[in-house]
Amino acid sequence: MVDKSQAYEDKFKGCIVGLSIGDALGMPVEWFTRSQIEEMGGISEYIDPINKFKDILKAGDYTDDTEQTLALANAFDKNGYNEDKFIENLLYWYNHNPIGIGPTSSKALENLSKGIKNGMPSETCGSAMRTAPLGLFYFDNLSKLVEKSISVTKLTHNSPNAIAGALSISFVVSKCLIHGIAHNTYDKYRLEKGGFDDGLGAIEKLRDVYEKDVGAFLNRDLEDDDISKYEHPEASHSTYSKIIEYNKNIIDKKRMEKGYDPILFIGERDIKRPYEYPEFRQTIEDCSHLLIDTSIEFSEKIVDILEICENAHNNNYDKKVILEGYDKLGTGINAIEAVPSAIFSFMISNSFESSLLNSINAGGDTDSIGSMCGALAGTYYGFNAIPKKWINDLSNHEHIINTSINLYNLKVMD
C-alpha cells in the first residue's frame, strides 16, 4: 500500500520542481522557431542561453515563470492562499532585477506597487504560468481553486483568456495529482502482488486502498451517498461536497458514473500516455466545461486538444502529426496558444522527460510552455520520476524543493 503522505509530497515536489525544469530547459531558446531549434540539434539538456538571456543567465537558470510560481507558492499559510503575501512576494522580486519579466507583468507590478490591483487587459500566459500551486493546494476544493485562480490572475492579467488559461493549468494540475496518485497506488500494488490475476480479492483490496484516498467519492452514486465517509483526512470538511455539486451541475451525471470508476480505469491500465486514460480525456472535457462562463473561445480550444490528441494517437504518435498538432494549437505567448500546447505535450507523451522535450522543441514561448507542461508532468509522474541530473543541475534546486515541501506541509497541517 502506498504511503499516502509520501505520495502526496512526491506530487507537490514534482509539480514545482518540474515547472522550474521546464522553464530552465526552455529559457535558452525562448522565441526560437521550431526549425531554428531543430537546426541546432534540438534541446535535450540545459544549455547556456543563445537569445536575449545570453551573458545574463547560464545553463540551469530559470526565469519569471519560476520566480512568479515561487512567489505564489510562498504566499500560503495553513488557511490557504494569502493575497497580501503574494503581492509582497511579487513586488520583492520586481524590485530586485526581475530577469525575464514580461511586458504585462512589468506594467501590472508597477501598478501594484502603487496599490492598483486591476491588472492589465492582457491575453498572455503570464498568470497561467504561475498558478500551478493553486492546483496542488486546492486539488480537493474546486470552488476555491476557481476563485483563487481568478483572483491571482486579475491582479496582473485581467482578460477572459488569461483567466481561462490560469484556470486550465490549476484545474489540470489538480487532476494530475489525483490520477497520478491513483495510478501510483495501482503500480505499487501490482508490483507487490505481481499483477491482478488473483481475482476479485485483489480488486477488492485495491478498492479498499483507493477508497481511503482522494478519489474515493468518484466511483459512487454521488447523489445518494453520505459524502462524509469518503472524506480525505487531510481535507477540510466541505470540500468534497463542493466538487460533487460542481459535478452534478455541469457534467452529465451518467457519464460521470461510468467515466470515473477508478477500478475500471485502473483495471484497463496497460497504456502509457495520459491521453490514453479515460480519466484524462474526461479531465480535458471537464476543463472545457469549467471555462464556458469565462471564455467560449478558450473552452472550444481545450476541446480541440482532444481531437488533436486523437489524431496523434490514431497515427501512432507520428512526429509529423504531432508537429501539425502544435501548428494548430499555436506556441505563442498568448494563453490561448501556450496553455493548450503545454497540455497537449503532456497528454501525448509517456514520461516526464518526453513531455518536457516535446513541449520545448515545438518552439515559440518555450520557457512558459515548458514550465506549464513541467508542472503537469511533474505532478503526474512525481518528483521521483524526474531525471536526477535535471534536478541537480537546476539552479537553486534546494530552495525550490524546500518551497514545495513547505507548501505540502501547510496543506496537511491541522
Q: Which of 367, 376, 383, 397 binds Mg ion (CB under 5 A)?
A: 367
Pick 165 or 180: Cβ nearer Mg ion: 165
Q: How far is the CB of 64 from Mg ion (least distance, A)?
A: 5
Examine residue 10 and tell whether it contacts Mg ion (CB under 5 A). no
Examine residue 100 and tell whether it contacts Mg ion (CB under 5 A). yes
Examine residue 9 and tell whether it contacts Mg ion (CB under 5 A). no
What is the size of the binding site for Mg ion (CB under 5 A)?
Answer: 5
Examine residue 122 and tell whether it contacts Mg ion (CB under 5 A). no
Q: Which run of H or E residues covers position 169?
A: helix 160-193
Task: Give the range of 62-70, 73-81, 231-239, 309-317 binding Mg ion by CB under 5 A.
Answer: 62-70
Pick 52 or 389: Cβ nearer Mg ion: 52
What separation in angstroms does the CA of 207 have from each of 219, 237, 244, 268?
Answer: 10, 22, 20, 14
Examine residue 63 and tell whether it contacts Mg ion (CB under 5 A). yes
Q: How far is the CB of 30 from Mg ion (least distance, A)?
A: 6
Q: How far is the CB of 134 from Mg ion (least distance, A)?
A: 19
Q: How many residues are given for the chain? A: 414
> Bridge-partner residues for 80, per DSSP?
77
Task: Give the range of 57-65, 165-173, 256-264, 288-296 binding Mg ion by CB under 5 A.
Answer: 57-65
Task: Give the range of 12-20, 130-138, 195-203, 359-367 binding Mg ion by CB under 5 A.
Answer: 359-367
Task: Give the range of 90-98, 302-310, 344-352, 366-374 binding Mg ion by CB under 5 A.
Answer: 366-374
Examine residue 65 and tell whether it contacts Mg ion (CB under 5 A). yes
User: What is the rounded distance in angstroms from the CA atom of residue 262 to the CA atom of residue 282?
Assistant: 12
Q: How far is the CB of 376 from Mg ion (least distance, A)?
A: 17
Task: Give the range of 75-83, 241-249, 288-296, 364-372 binding Mg ion by CB under 5 A.
Answer: 364-372
Q: How far is the CB of 159 from Mg ion (least distance, A)?
A: 19
Q: Which of 9, 10, 61, 64 binds Mg ion (CB under 5 A)?
A: 64
Examine residue 20 and tell whether it contacts Mg ion (CB under 5 A). no
Q: How far is the CB of 99 from Mg ion (least distance, A)?
A: 9
User: What is the rounded distance in angstroms from the CA atom of residue 99 to the CA atom of residue 96?
Assistant: 9
User: What is the rounded distance in angstroms from the CA atom of residue 101 to the CA atom of residue 105?
Assistant: 7
Would you give the end-to-end CA distance of the chain in angstroms? 24
Examine residue 68 and tell whether it contacts Mg ion (CB under 5 A). no
Q: How far is the CB of 17 from Mg ion (least distance, A)?
A: 17
Task: Give the range of 95-103, 140-148, 219-227, 260-268 binding Mg ion by CB under 5 A.
Answer: 95-103
What does the binding site for Mg ion look like in residue numbers (CB under 5 A)?
Answer: 63-65, 100, 367
